[in-house]
Amino acid sequence: MAETSLVCSEEMMDESPDVSLELKEMSRYKNQLPSQVIVRHKELTALPDDNILHDKRVLPSMLVTEKVTVGYVNNYFRTVQDDLTPEMKSTVAVWMFEVCEEERMHVAVFLRAIQYMDKFLSLQRISRTQLQLLGAVCLLESSKIAGTTISLQRLVSYTADSVTPDMLLQWEDMLLTMLNWDMYGVVSSDFVPYILQMLPKELWDNTLVTERIKTFTAYCAVDHQFGVHLPSVIASASIAAALTPLVTTEVMDKVLYILQSATNINIQQLKSCMEQITAKVQVTVEEKLKSTKACGESPSDPETVTASSPNNGCRIKSR
């Protein structure tokens, strides 16, 4: 019997590959990486583990954990940051989401990066000129936690060379120190699979619903007004908002009851957050359609726009 080689032929990379040459060969930048690059930056998602997904201890544990990961968002613009505004943070947050989309990263990378940013801003004053640098560092750390590390060179290029690799590394040390190396807080996307499996599968087991849920959680991270809500509330309200156009009022009442029972959320808070999300999405869809026309593209179907990013621009640019 011939011997079987146990040597792995895969090449492991600590950082995402340098694709600067490939990008230069493009006739013009269309906010779309070449097909050969997309393969390298393909979104990585672990297969669900049914043993964990159906373990009744997991969700209660997450509900306890989330309470120590929030509470810093509410008032740091009044108590710590005197040179920043919520609008500035939202602008940088949109840029961060665009980078995650361009790198084909899971939405959790973006959500966790925003969580790092909120924690840092609640502890350390910065100037408005340092906000994008902070956002880039938060993306770097979050991508490392997810195992899809973005290279320093690509982060620098996404900022239009407004920062340097040395600056990123210096701020990385400062971020980790300020957060006491506590980088594993729960985010809204962590709750979604555990809540969905409590609902009838025929309600949510399709691409449109799951993409809407991802998009809605991203909208909430971009808009600072949602910072008052716990991640479990954001997750539940995003699920409800995604299902609302697709089910009857009677079915939605049952869904809200299941969501409230699973997470112990006040039903009025859940409905209020859901209405906020719906209103935010409607405004964003209208802005997206206007932006699409301004970019010279054909208007998209509202359903498609709703399931897309909260980006109101035509391309990634430095903020």
Question: Whole-angstrom Cα distance, residue 108 to residue 144?
Answer: 12
Q: Domain end: 184, 213, 237, which one?
A: 184
- In terms of domains, do 198 and 302 share one? yes
Length, in residues, of the chain: 319
DSSP string, 79-143: HT-SS--HHHHHHHHHHHHHHHHHTT--HHHHHHHHHHHHHHHTT----GGGHHHHHHHHHHHHH
Instruction: Name the nearest CA neighbour of 259 among 235, 230, 226.
Output: 235
Q: Which of 43-47, 140-144, 175-179 has the lowest mean pLDDT?
A: 43-47
The mean-pLDDT minimum among 18-27, 66-75, 165-174, 178-187 falls in 18-27
Based on the fold, state whether residues 180 and 194 are members of the same structural domain: no
Residue 269 lies in a domain: yes
Residue 186 has pLDDT above 70, yes or no: yes
Number of structural domains the chain divides into: 2
Percent of the chain with pLDDT over 90: 51
Which pLDDT tens digit goes with each residue over 187-240? 999 999 999 999 998 888 888 899 999 999 999 999 988 988 899 999 999 999
Residue 101 sits in the same domain as residue 114: yes
For all residues of the chain together, what is the average pLDDT? 80
Residues 77 and 180 in one domain: yes
pLDDT bucket at 81, cuts 50 / 70 / 90: very high
User: Which of 184, 200, 219 is the endpoint of a domain?
Assistant: 184
315: in domain: no
Specify the pLDDT at position 206: 85
d(CA 252, CA 203): 10
Residue 65 lies in a domain: no
- Tell me, yes or no, whether 22 lies in a domain: no
pLDDT digits (tens, 9 = 90+) for 106-144: 999 999 999 999 999 999 999 999 999 999 999 999 999
Structure tokens at 146: 């997810």
Same domain, 236 and 157: no
Q: Are residues 90 and 152 in the same domain?
A: yes
56, part of any domain = no
Query: Which CATH number does the domain housing residue 265 bear?
Result: 1.10.472.10
Do 111 and 204 share a domain, yes or no?
A: no
- Tokens linked to 30: 């269309």
Whether residue 166 is found in the same domain as residue 265: no
Q: Within a domain: residue 8? A: no
Give the pLDDT of residue 71: 53
Residues 239, 178 share a domain: no
Q: Residue 262: inside a domain, yes or no?
A: yes
Q: What average pLDDT does range 289-302 have in this prediction? A: 60
Q: Which domain holds residue 178?
A: 73-184
Q: Which long-range contacts (CB under 8 A, 24 or more apart) does 117-121 make?
A: 117/89, 117/93, 118/72, 118/73, 118/76, 118/227, 119/72, 119/178, 119/179, 120/175, 120/178, 120/179, 121/76, 121/80, 121/81, 121/84, 121/89
* The domain boundary residue, chosen from 184, 210, 244: 184
Determine contact, residues 258/243, Cβ cutoff 8 Å: no
Confidence of residue 149 (pLDDT cuts 50, 70, 90): confident
Looking at the fold, whether 180 and 204 belong to one and the same domain comes out as: no
> pTM for the full model?
0.77
| d(C-alpha 148, C-alpha 33), whole Å | 17
Please report whether residue 36 resides in a domain: no
Mean pLDDT lowest among 24-28, 89-93, 276-280, 299-303 = 24-28
pLDDT of residue 173: 95
164, 202: one domain: no
Q: For residue 177, what pLDDT is reported?
A: 94
Do 148 and 193 share a domain, yes or no? no
- Exposed, middle or buried by CB within 10 Å (0-12, 13-18, 19+), for 238? buried
